[in-house]
Amino acid sequence: MGVPRPPRDDDSEEEESQEAPRNARNKSSSTTSSSTAAVGVSGGQRIASPTPVSELPVSIQRAFRIKMLSILLVQLLISLGVAFACRVTTTIDNSALNTTAIALNEEQTTGSTWLAIIMPPKTIQVLIFGMVMIIALPMLGSIKDKHPWNLVGTTIWSVLWGIFMAAASLPGGLVKSNSMFVLFGSSALGVFVLLFCSQLTVTNERGEKELWSFNSAGTLAWIIMVSVSFVVFSQTGHLYEHVLHFIMSILISSLVFWWVVFDAGKLCGTFQPDEYMKGVTYFYTDFLLVCCCCLMGGMMASAAS
C-alpha cells in the first residue's frame, strides 16, 4: 500500500492556471447576461434601457433637463418674437375700431397695415383663428415620436400662435393691456431661470451629489420671475390700461409656470434620455389647458375694463 504523495507547488500552480480561464469565462458570461438584461435585444438590434432619467447618473439627468427646457424656451421665444415683430410692424386706423362700419361691411381699415386688414379688431376672425390653433394642438400628439417632424410641427405652431397673439393684442382687440405679452414674457423668463436652477446640486445623506428637485428649483425660479416682472412693470406701467390686467396676467403665468415645473418632474421620472423632444411635444399638447387660460384671462381682462 503506497503512501499518498503530498501535493507539489507546481500542481497547485497548474490547478490555478486552469481555474483562471474558467473564472474569466464565468465572469464574461455574467457580464454579458447582465448587459443584455439592461440593454436588451429586439430584432437583432440593441434597444435603450427602460430606466427613467431620474434614476440615471447626475450627468445624464442634467443633459436631459438642459435639452428639454432649452427647446421649450426656444419655442416660447419664437412665439413671443413673432408676436412682437407682427405687433410693431402693424399700424391700425381709428376707423378700424368703428363697430358700425364693421357691421355695415364698410371700408374701415384705411391707414391700417397687413395684420389689421387680415384680422381687424372686434371681428370673429381673430377668435376663430385662436380656436383653430387650440384644436390643432392635439394633432401634435400624433407626431410626438417622429423626429424631426415633431420639431417642425411645434415650430410651425409656435409661429402661428405668435401671429394670433399679435392680432389679439391690437388696439380694441380681444386682449387688452398687452396681457398676452406679459403672460408669455413672464413664462419664458420663468423657464429660463428654471433652466439654470434645475442644474444646481446638493449633497445627500450618503455624501453623493444629486440635482435639485424641480419643486425646489421651481420655487426659486418663480420668486425671481415674479420679482423681475414687477420691476419691469414699474418701468412700463404706461403700456397697461389698468394695473389689474397686469396682475391677472402674472397670476395666470404663475399657474402656467407651476404646471411646467410639475410636468417637467413627471417627464423626468417617465422618459428615457433620448426622449427629450417627445417631452417638449408633451408640453405643447398639454398646452391646450394653458391656451384656454390665456383666452379666458383675455376675456376677463376685457370684461374688467
DSSP states along 156-177: HHHHHHHHHHHHHTSTTSSS-T
Q: Are 120 and 112 in contact (CB under 8 A)?
A: yes
Q: Which residues of 53-64 are buried (b: 16+ CB within 10 A; e: fewer)?
A: bbebeeeebeeb
Can you tell me the distance from the alpha carbon of 187 to that of 184, in angstroms, rounded to the nearest whole number? Answer: 5
Residue 42 maps to a domain: no
Q: Tell me how many domains the chain contains.
A: 1
Confirm whether 11 is domain-assigned: no
On whether residue 298 sits in a domain, the answer given is yes
The crossing angle, in degrees rounded to 10, of helices 276-304 and 58-88 is 40
CA–CA gap between residue 67 and residue 71 (Å, rounded) = 6
Q: Please, are residues 120 and 102 in contact by the beta-carbon 8 Å criterion?
A: yes
- The Cα angle at residue 39 between residues 37 and 41, in degrees rounded to 5: 85
CA separation, residue 260 to residues 33, 103, 190, 192, 266 (Å): 40, 42, 10, 12, 10
CA angle, residues 225, 63, 77, in degrees to nearest 5: 40
Residue 45 covered by a domain: no
User: Is 27 inside any structural domain?
Assistant: no
| 152 within a domain of the structure (yes/no) | yes
- Residue-by-residue pLDDT tens, the chain, 305 positions: 455 555 555 554 445 455 544 554 444 444 444 333 333 333 344 344 478 888 888 888 898 889 888 888 888 899 999 999 988 887 665 554 444 444 444 444 445 567 777 887 777 888 888 888 877 777 776 776 777 787 788 888 889 989 988 888 887 777 877 888 888 899 899 999 999 999 999 988 888 889 999 999 999 999 999 999 999 998 888 878 888 888 888 988 898 889 889 888 888 888 777 776 666 666 666 655 565 555 555 555 554 55
- Residue 188 · residue 73 · CB < 8 Å: yes
- Separation of alpha carbons 101 and 97, rounded Å: 8
- Per the structure, the complete domain to which residue 169 belongs is given by 61-304
Q: Compute the distance between CA of residue 303 and CA of residue 294 in angstroms, rounded to an integer.
A: 14
CB distance 271 to 52 below 8 Å: yes
Instruction: Note if the pTM is more than 0.85.
Output: no
155 found inside a domain: yes
157 falls within a domain: yes
